[in-house]
Amino acid sequence: MKSYLAAAVQMTSVPDLQKNLAQAEDLIDFAVHQGATLIGLPENFSFMGDENEKRAQALAIATESEKFLKTMAQRFQITILGGGFPVPTNSTGKVYNTALLIDSNGEELTRYHKVHLFDVNVPDGNTYQESSTVMAGTQLPSVYLSPELGNLGLSVCYDVRFPELYRYLSQKEADVVFVPAAFTAYTGKDHWQVLLQARAIENTYYIIAPAQTGLNYARRQTHGHAMIIDPWGMVLADAGEQPGVAIAEINPVRLEQVRRQMPSLQHRVF
């Protein structure tokens, strides 16, 4: 593993598949021209709208999203994460919220079905019931072992509130963990950054957190602030509140330095 630049893409996705893919392509192109070779797209990058509308279009969204990721990876010679899109299940009528990691040859490296679903009554008056249309995954995310990029772990959005998942990824020797999200504006202002920093600090790995931002549809307002955070918890890049890209260096020397200076994982009792 050598040092390289990674990018966390920030989008305002809407209920329009082709419009979202065009926006994503522009931001990927920008990140590549800045030198990024590992790029993450946020949760719901290809479609963000009413849950029942998403389920009705799920097959088309899934097909086009996967095709898009493979095309982008090959065209720009990058490794890319599609941070969350609906993939139909076989029998229930629901979908899996799926994160998909693709290499520069357009080959699938690993995929993860989000296990923690966002069923919450937020104090701002909005109610979210992800489980009404989404089937929870049943497998913990795998860690893809990359000689060039380090060991890459996956998670999605609401997972960030469940530290046991991230400790599992650390036990699988993750160096870099993705947290693609569509965090609500109300919860994001208080919890987004501090949760990301906590996951990075307690597990001493890099966090790449692509994000949705702005008004996506109806009353759905997302927080933004796509980030890259180092193993010490330092925010290396923050995309702010507008669509754009957070870019920072993933440095194996820094990773080793932090783990040497703060060897807390070696001191675990339980």
Say which of 25, 114, 130, 202 is annotated catalytic: 114
pLDDT, one tens digit per residue, over 109-157 is 999 999 999 888 878 767 787 888 899 999 999 999 999 999 999 999 9
* Whether residue 43 lies in the annotated active site: yes
| Cβ within 8 Å of residue 268, ≥6 positions away | none
Per-residue pLDDT at 219: 78
pLDDT, one tens digit per residue, over 36-47 is 999 999 999 999
| DSSP secondary structure letters along 42-79 | PTTSS--S-HHHHHHTHHHHHHHHHHHHHHHHHHHT-E
The closest of 108, 113, 43 to 80, measured between CA atoms, is 108
Work out how many domains the chain is built from and give that number: 1
Per-residue pLDDT at 5: 98
Q: Within 13 A of 95's CA, how many CA atoms are on the CB side?
A: 23
Say which of 54, 157, 173, 256 is annotated catalytic: 157
Q: What's the CATH number where 192 sits? A: 3.60.110.10
pLDDT, one tens digit per residue, over 62-106 is 999 999 999 999 999 999 999 999 999 877 789 999 999 999 999
| Cβ within 8 Å of residue 20, ≥6 positions away | 11, 13, 14, 45, 46, 47, 48
Per-residue pLDDT at 131: 86
Per-residue pLDDT at 50: 87
Give ∠ CA 223-112-83 in degrees, rounded to 5: 30
Percent of the chain exceeding pLDDT 70 equals 100
pLDDT, one tens digit per residue, over 236-262 is 999 999 999 999 999 999 999 999 999
pLDDT, one tens digit per residue, over 5-29 is 999 999 999 999 999 999 999 999 9
Give ∠ CA 158-179-97 in degrees, rounded to 5: 60
Alpha helices in the chain (DSSP H): 17-33, 51-56, 58-76, 163-171, 185-203, 252-261
Give ∠ CA 23-180-118 in degrees, rounded to 5: 115
Task: State the SS3 of 72-116.
Answer: HHHHHCCEEEEEEEEEECCCCCCEEEEEEEECCCCCEEEEEECCC
Q: Is residue 108 very low, low, confident or very high in pLDDT (cuts 50, 70, 90)? A: very high
What single-letter amino acid sits at 48? M
Say which of 2, 25, 43, 173 is annotated catalytic: 43
pLDDT, one tens digit per residue, over 217-232 is 987 899 999 999 999 9
Q: What range does the domain containing 127 cover?
A: 4-267
Per-residue pLDDT at 228: 98
